[in-house]
Amino acid sequence: MSADPPPLGALADIAASAACPVCRARFRSAVTCSRCGADLGPLLVLSARAFRLRQKARTLLREGDFRQALGCAVEAECLHATPHGALLRAVCACLA
């Protein structure tokens, strides 16, 4: 796992769809939950990885590598499911 900060797009994905797994408080772009103090670092790492996989899937789609794009989209959805990610996976599946 990378120590790099998550890309801004990944933070937007998290903010739109995530809550603290301990107390279900809304994500507020911090490494610790503002309500219960839980460490959200692992969640951020997974979401950032999913974001990068979706970016790779889009690149592979543009290059015509539909099967590889589908693999990246499916892996991304397994790590962190989002509405846009589900749509990307569906497009990849239709083309693969």
pLDDT digits (tens, 9 = 90+) for 23-53: 999 888 788 999 999 999 888 888 889 999 9
Q: Is the pTM here over 0.85, yes or no?
A: no
Model pLDDT, residue 3: 46
Answer whether 46's CB lies under 8 Å from 79's CB.
yes
Whether 11 shows a pLDDT value over 80: the answer reads: no
Q: Give the start-end residues of each E strand in the chain.
A: none
pLDDT-derived band at 62, boundaries 50, 70, 90: very high
Q: Which two tokens stand for residue 36?
A: 């219960």
Structural domain spans, the chain:
8-95
User: Minimal CA–CA distance to 61: which of 46, 76, 47?
Assistant: 76
Q: Would you say 67 and 36 are in contact if contact means Cβ atoms under 8 Å apart?
A: no
For 26, list phi and psi in degrees, rounded to 5.
-65, 140
Q: What are phi and psi of 19, to 5 degrees?
A: -140, 160
